Amino acid sequence: MDNILLVSIFGILALYYYSSMNVYKSMYRKIKEEKDSVHHAHDSSLNELQKLEKSFQDALETIANTDESLTKAREEYQKLKLENNELKNRNELLQKRVSELYSSVGII
């Protein structure tokens, strides 16, 4: 009688063990799947981050090149503006001189 009771208790414990083992196995599989999906999402987000950093660096280089080009164009524009003002002043002086010469020729 003791042996039957002992065997039945071990049988119940074995059933409990195997049923809980299946639950733990399924939980382990689910956790492993979740871990893999999280790693995949993390890797894809890192790849996206690297792409964005690269495009950001390219944009910064483009901005720097554009700034350099604009600076050169601004300097050339200022030089041309000064030269144009000098030519206008010289033209006015020459016009005055021509007017003076015509008036002196008209007097003679």
What is the pTM (predicted TM-score) of this model? 0.55
Q: What is the pLDDT of residues 55-103, one digit of tens each?
A: 999 999 999 999 999 999 999 999 999 999 999 999 999 999 999 888 8
Give me 4's structure tokens: 């039957």
Report which DSSP code applies to 34. H
Distance of CA 59 to the CA centre of its chain: 7
First to last CA, the chain: 157
What separation in angstroms does the CA of 59 have from each of 62, 63, 77?
Answer: 5, 6, 26
Distance from C-alpha of 22 to C-alpha of 20, rounded to nearest angstrom: 5
